């Protein structure tokens, strides 16, 4: 077939590239065309548009088809057409590339990273930025994070395999694909990344002295496979879930600070329902009187806190939840929050749920503090807070000014202490404005 010189006369541009001879670098150009808007690569044309031709057209065609088949992922062969065309006696290889439907295409040896993904900018082939790569993935795979292709394809599953083995659940190639950790084409998804040893998402845990965040007692960061994190965090929480004993008559009764079901379900909720498209860590804070679990990502659209309390579950990470279900970590969707609330049925203070547009928090009260009268909470309070509580032994109600005078503190300090005692539900405000007074709950 004679060579059409019209496109060549227009010169190199976003859809046209000239190569004087074959080299393996053409794979970058082919990838760039597939990732951008398609294009034509001419092998045997000089940069000045003169026709040089190739020495062995059949061998060059074979090299081009081999590099497309072996060096480019995902499979691009259906979008590439190679043929030899002639101008006089000179043979030119014309490689026509359509825009692919599985962008981003990348070098098999580099993965979905800037050094492996290329796009066209004008007449040049350049590495794609990470932002551009993520945009291509979203356009191709949709918005669900767990279903999108992982930027890291060099993954291992040693910890996950141990967990699956413990639960007597198979974990081979077929299971990875059935559970959507991997596509049929062998590409790992973000769900695969979350369960892999290379997971980039972490949980930060801190233990504080007292009931605020002024003094650290310990802090940890858990990383790796979500299954490993789940196991390690649960064991750590178990160690710090203290047991209090009391003797009633001849019977010794033991009570743990937190129901095991409660912090287990709160932890699972944080891991399963968080928005992993954000890089921020899940935060777990342990105080003398409570544990707080804060996960990134508010409630799914159309779901309210009242819906959650009723057991309605709209899964943000449906496939991750399915993995946890297969591993017998969750019993049924939507039952976690009701189970938490039931475990506090005998308590005056109940677990609290708070949601913003970007975060969700579950607060579990310490049952061994919650079920005691406020007088018995003094062990977890500061000296100045205890002095305020002792004022109620002499009078039923006190004012802020009386507290300032009795403790010789400033107005700002008195307001801060009263606010903290109110938050702990030890005292409550009566009245409004200048007439506001405080009494014990």
- Write the DSSP symbol of residue 302: T
d(CA 223, CA 199): 7
Distance spanning both ends of the chain, measured CA to CA: 93
Average pLDDT on 204-230 reads 92
Report CA 260 to chain centroid distance, whole Å.
25
Q: 10-14, 246-250, 392-396 — which one is most confidently predicted on average?
A: 10-14
Contact 95, 40 (CB under 8 A): yes
**pLDDT of amino acid 376:** 45
Burial 85-113 (b: 16+ CB within 10 A, else e): bebeebbbbbbebeebebbbbbbeebbbb
Is pLDDT of 375 > 50?
A: no
The DSSP code for 274 is: S
Task: Give the up-direction half-sphere exposure of residue 352: CA atoms within 13 A in the CB hemisphere.
Answer: 12
Cα 427–Cα 425–Cα 412 angle in degrees, nearest 5: 60
User: How far is Cα 53 from Cα 92, in angstroms, rounded to an integer?
Assistant: 5
More confident site: 98 or 331: 98
User: If you count DSSP H runs as helices and E runs as strands, how many of each does the chain have, helices first?
Assistant: 16, 19
State the average pLDDT over residues 51-62.
Answer: 92
Q: For residue 26, which of 53, 11, 44, 9 has the smallest C-alpha distance?
A: 44
Lowest mean pLDDT among 197-201, 253-257, 344-348, 375-379: 375-379
pLDDT at 34: 95
Percent of all residues in the chain with a pLDDT value above 90, rounded to a whole number: 49
At 129-182, the pLDDT tens digits run 988 998 888 888 777 889 888 989 999 999 999 999 999 999 999 999 999 999
Domains located in the chain, CATH noted: 6-140 (3.30.950.30), 142-195 (no CATH), 203-370 (3.30.565.60), 374-440 (1.10.10.10)
Between helix 411-423 and helix 400-407 the angle, nearest 10°, is 110
Using the structure block, give the residue that is written with the tokens 């040049």.
124
Give residue 374's pLDDT: 42
The answer to whether 9 and 63 have CB atoms below 8 angstroms apart is no
- The per-residue pLDDT for 373 is 43
**Which of 195, 152, 153, 151 is closest to 176 using CA atoms?**
195
Q: Which tens digit of pLDDT belongs to each residue from 258-274? A: 999 898 999 999 999 89
Q: In this structure, what token pair is assigned to residue 395?
A: 């009078």
253: which strand partners?
246
> Residue 29: which region, alpha, beta or left (left: phi > 0; alpha: psi -120 to 50)?
alpha
> How far apart are the C-alpha atoms of 150 and 192, rounded to whole Å?
8
**Burial tier of 355 (Cβ tally within 10 Å: 0-12, 13-18, 19+):** middle
Report residue 60's pLDDT band, with 50, 70 and 90 as the boundaries.
very high
Strand partners for 282: 203
Confidence (pLDDT) at 294: 95
Q: At what angle do helices 383-391 and 400-407 cross, to 10 degrees?
A: 120
């Amino acid at each position: 077939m004679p060579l059409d010189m019209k496109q060549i006369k227009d010169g190199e541009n976003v859809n046209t590239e000239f190569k004087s001879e074959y080299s393996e670098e053409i794979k970058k150009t082919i990838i760039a065309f597939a990732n951008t808007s398609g294009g034509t690569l001419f092998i045997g044309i000089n940069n000045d548009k003169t026709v040089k031709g190739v020495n062995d057209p059949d061998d060059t065609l074979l090299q081009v088809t081999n590099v497309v088949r072996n060096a480019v992922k995902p499979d691009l062969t259906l979008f590439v057409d190679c043929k030899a065309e002639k101008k006089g006696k000179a043979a030119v290889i014309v490689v026509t590339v359509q825009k692919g439907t599985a962008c981003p295409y990348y070098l098999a040896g580099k993965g979905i990273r800037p050094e492996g993904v290329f796009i066209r900018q004008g007449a040049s082939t350049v590495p794609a930025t990470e932002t551009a790569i993520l945009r291509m993935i979203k356009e191709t795979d949709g918005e669900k994070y767990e279903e999108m292709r992982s930027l890291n394809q060099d993954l291992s599953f040693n910890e996950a395999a141990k967990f699956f083995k413990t639960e007597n659940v198979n974990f081979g190639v077929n299971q990875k694909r059935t559970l959507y950790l991997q596509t049929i084409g062998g590409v790992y998804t973000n769900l695969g990344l979350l369960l892999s040893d290379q997971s980039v998402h972490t949980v930060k845990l801190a233990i504080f002295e007292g009931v605020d965040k002024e003094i650290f007692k310990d802090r940890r960061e858990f990383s790796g496979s979500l299954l490993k994190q789940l196991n390690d965090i649960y064991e750590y929480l178990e160690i710090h879930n203290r047991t209090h004993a009391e003797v009633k008559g001849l019977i010794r009764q033991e009570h743990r600070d937190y129901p095991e079901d409660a912090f287990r379900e709160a932890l699972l909720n944080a891991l399963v329902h968080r928005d992993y498209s954000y890089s921020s860590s899940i935060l777990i804070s342990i105080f003398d009187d409570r544990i707080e679990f804060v996960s990134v990502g508010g409630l799914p659209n159309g779901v309210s806190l009242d819906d959650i309390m009723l057991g309605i579950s709209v899964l943000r990470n449906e496939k991750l939840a399915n993995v946890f279900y297969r591993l017998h970590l969750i019993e049924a969707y939507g039952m976690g929050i009701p189970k938490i609330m039931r475990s506090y049925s005998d308590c005056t203070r109940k677990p609290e749920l708070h949601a913003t547009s970007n975060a969700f928090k579950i607060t579990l009260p310490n049952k061994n503090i919650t079920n005691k009268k406020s007088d018995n909470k003094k062990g977890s309070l500061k000296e100045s807070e205890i002095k305020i509580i002792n004022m109620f032994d002499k009078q039923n109600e006190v004012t802020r000014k009386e507290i300032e005078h009795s403790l010789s503190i400033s107005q700002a300090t008195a307001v801060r202490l009263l606010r903290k005692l109110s938050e702990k539900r030890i005292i409550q405000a009566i009245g409004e404005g200048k007439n506001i007074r405080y009494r014990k709950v």
